[in-house]
Structure 1
Amino acid sequence: MADESVQGQSPQDPTSSSPSSLWSLSALQLDDLLDELRARAGSARESQERMASLLDAVVAVSSNLDLADVLHRIVVSACELVDATYGALGVLGPGGEELIEFVTHGLTEDQRVAIGTLPRGHGLLGLIISSPQPQRVTDIGEHPRSFGFPPNHPPMTSFLGAPVRIRDEVFGNLYLTDKRQATEFSKDDEAILVALAAAAGVAIENARLYDRTRGQQLWGEVAGRATQGLLAGEPHGVVLSEVVARVAELTEASSCFLALTRGTDLVVVASTASQPAPGTSVSDLGLRAAMLAEARTVQADATSATGTRSTIPLMLREAPLGLIVVDWAEEERLSHLEELTGFAQRLTLSLVAATAQTERSRAELFEDRDRIARDMHDHVIQRLFATGMSLQSAARMSGETVRPRVERAVDELDAAIKDIRHAIFALQRPPGARDLAAEITAVCRDASITLGFPPDLRLSGRTDALPEQLEADVLAVLREGLSNVARHAGATVVDVSVEVDGGVVVTVVDDGHGIGPLPSRSSGLDNLARRAEHRGGTLSLEAREPSGTRLVWSVPLDEDVPS
C-alpha cells in the first residue's frame, strides 16, 4: 500500500505545493518588494533633500535686501538646486522686450571680458521673453531659435529657463545650461526652478522696495542739506557744487552740471567736471534749445528720455529757472529719472525760497540804511552846518590871530559834511546797483548850479562793471574836484572825463586862475590822495597853460574786473 501510495504521486505535477517550492516563490516576491521599497525610500530621501535645498535657497535669497546681492544669490542657488554648470539672470528693460542687465554664475571675469557685449535677449533667450513660460531644451544648437554663440563663448548643450515674476510683472528670466550629472534637465528640475523663481520674485520685490525707500531717504538728505544751506545764506556756488556732486554719486553718473537762468540766458553755476566750467553760457555750448526741448519732454513723459543724457528742468509754473544735466558713460536705463524729477522740484522750491529770503533781507537792509541816511542828513549834517555858520560869524568878529584857526575849523566841518554826504549816498544806493554813468551825470548836473554852467562830460569804458566801493571813490573825486573849481578857480569851462581801461582815471580840467598858493592842509585833497593810495593809485594836481588846473585821480583795476 505503501508502494501504491508512493507510485500515485507525480513529482512533475505543477500543482504540487511542497514546502520548499512555496518558500522559494515567497523569497523572490519579497526581494522585489524590498527593492521597490528601497527605491521609493531613496526617491523620498532625494525629494526631501531637494525640498530642504529649495527651502535653504529661498531663505538665502530672502536674507539680503541689497538688490545686486539678491540677484547674484538667486543665480547661484538655481545652479546648485538643479546641478547646472552655468547660470544667468537677465533683467528686462522698461519695455519688457530686451535685457538691460545680465547677472551670471559659472563664468570667470576673464571669460566675461572675452565674450564682450552681454546678450540683449535674442534667439533662445528671447523665447522666454516673448512667451514667458518655462522652457527645457536638450541641445541648444538643435533648437530652431538658436543663434549660436559669439566668439570666446564656452560651448553649452542642455538648457532650462523660467521667468521671474513680481505679481503680474515679468522682472526677468532665469537661464541655466549644462546639467552636470545628466544629458538634460528633468521635469523635477523644471518644477524646482519654477518654485525658486516664485520665491525670487518676492525677494526681488522686497529688495526693490528697500532700495526705493533708501534712495528716497538719500535724495531727501541731499534736498534738505541744499535747502538748509541756501536759506542759511551760504554761497549758492558752494551749495550747488555739493548738490551736483551728490546727484552724480546717487545716479552713478559720469558727470553732472546745473545751470540757472541769468536774464534770458542759462549759465552753468556748478559742475562735477572741468567742462562746462561754472560761468559758461549754455548758449555758448550750442545746447540751450536742445536741452530746453528735452527738458520739456522729460517733464511731460518721464519714459521718453533715452540715451546717455538726462535733462531735468527746474520749473516754476511754466518758466524754467534752470536745468540739471546728468551724463552717463554708457547707455543708461534711466532708472533714476523719477527720483531726479522729484528732487528737481524740491530744489526749485528751495531756490525760490532762498531768493525770496534774500530779497526780503535786502529790502529790510535797504530800509535800515535809508533810515540811517535820513537821520544823518536831518540831524548830524544840519547841526554841523549850523555850527559852521556860527564859526563863520565868529571869525568875522575875531582878531587876525584867531580868524585863520576858525576858518580852518570851518573847512574841516565842510569836509566832514562832504564825507557824511558820501556815506549817505552809499547807504541809499541799493545793494548791487551799478548805474555809475547816471550817478556821474547827476553829479555834473548838480555842479552846474554852483559853476554857473554845465561841465563837459566824457565817459569811456565799462563804467558799469566797477566794484561798489570804487564807484563811491569815483563820485567823491568828482564832487571834490568840481567843488574846488566852483569855489576857487573862477573858470568858464570845465572838462570832466572818466575812463575805464585797465584802470580808472578821473580827470577834472578847468580854465580858471590856476593852482595858486595852496593852504598847508587841504582836507579834501588829502582825502582824495588817501583814497588813491589805498588802491595803489595816485593823485596829481598841476597847472595848465595858459591858465587853469588839471586834477588827475588814477587807480588800477583788479584783474577780475572787465575793461
Structure 2
Amino acid sequence: MSSESEDPGAVLHAVSSAVLAVTRHLSVREVLQVIVRSAQRLLDARYAALGVPDEAGAFAEFVAEGISDEEWEAIGPMPRQHGMLGAMLREGAPVRLPDIRRDPRFECWPRAHPVLKDFLGVPILDGDQVLGIIFLSNKRGPGGFTEADQRLLTMFAAHAAIALTNARLYERSRELALVEERTRMARELHDAVTQKLFSLRLTAQAAASLVPGDPVRALRELDRVERLAGEALAELRAVIVELRPAELGRHGLAETLRKHVRLLDRLHPASFSFSSSPSDGETGGESGAETGAETGGEAPGADGGTRALDPAVEVAVLRVAQEALHNASRHSAARTVAVRLGREDGRVVLEVSDDGAGFDVATAAGRGLGIASMADRAEAVGGSVLVRSELGAGTVIRMEVPG
C-alpha cells in the first residue's frame, strides 16, 4: 500500500507508536527498532535501517528490518561509513533515488547483501549535527518513493533524534549518579569505619608497648582491640549492604546477571548469553540471553539446590561481571560473549568468555581494562580472578569466591 493512500488515522497511529516508544523506559536499541519498523510498515518498504556512527568509522548502533538473522550472519560485520551511508553522514541531506546502484556515491555491497534499488534516506539531525541516518529501500508498490514519503520519513528521523538525545542525557545522568554515589561511599567509609580502624591501630600499638612491663593491662587492651575490630567489621558490612545494588536485593545474583546480559544482547551487535549451573557438570539453565536460573538472592548450590551468599560476595561477583562485560562489548570486537555462573568444589564460579580479538595479558595493565580492579574486588571477599587471553583467540575471565 502506498503511503499517499494511507488512512490518515494509520499515519497518526504509526507516528504515535514511535513517540510512545521514545518516551517509555525502553533501551535505546528497542526505541530505534520501533522507529525503523514503523517507518518500514508505513512507507511499505521491504528494507529499512537506522545507523548511528561511532568515532572509528563504523556504527555504534545499526538496526534493520527485512533481513533475517541468517542473512545477517552471511553478510558479515556491520557496515562501515563508506559509499552512500558515508556520503549521507557527511552531507547531512535527504537522498531519494529511483536506483541507488546508478548513483556515483554508491560503491558496493558484501556478496550476501540483498540487492537494493529504489532508495530513500534522511539524516537524523540535532541542530546542524548529524547523529545518524535512517533509510528505506525497495518499496513494494510501483513508482518508488515519493516526496510525501520523504516528508514522513523526515518526521520519523526527528523522533529518532529525540531518542538518541534522551539516551545521551540518561547516560550522563547515570555517570553523575555514580560520581555522587562514590562520594557518598567515601564519606560513609570515613565516618563509620576509618575512625574506628584508627582507634584500633592505636590500641594495638598501646597493647604491644605494655606487654613487657604490664602484661595484665596489655591483655585488657587486646580485649579492646578485639571489640573494636568486631565493631569495625560490623560497620563495614553495614556500609556494603547499604551500597548493595537494589537489583540484587530484589532479584538475587543469578537473575540480576541474566537481566544485565539480556539488556546487552539487545544493545550490541554481538550475541550475549547467560547460563547458570547448579553443580559440577550440571547445567541449571539453557544458554541464552533470555534464560538462566531465577534463584532470588541465592547462588547455585553444590547439591543442586540453592545456598545464600554473603551480600559482599554478591556485590563483588556482579561488579566483576559488569567490568568484564564492559570490556567485551567495547574492546573485544567479539561476535559472541558468554556468561556462566555456577558452583565448583564448594566455590562460586563466574566466567565471562568471548571470541574476540584477545590481548596480551602481560601488557594490559595500563590499557584501562580494569583487570587490577577486578582482582582487588575478588581478593576483598577471599576470592581470585584469572584472566586468559590470546591475540586472535578471545578472552576468558574466571572469578572464584567462597560460596
The TM-score with structure 2 as length reference comes to 0.48
Give the greater-gyration-radius structure (CA). Answer: 1
- Higher relative CO (Cα under 8 Å, sequence separation at least 6) belongs to 2
TM-score by length of 1: 0.36
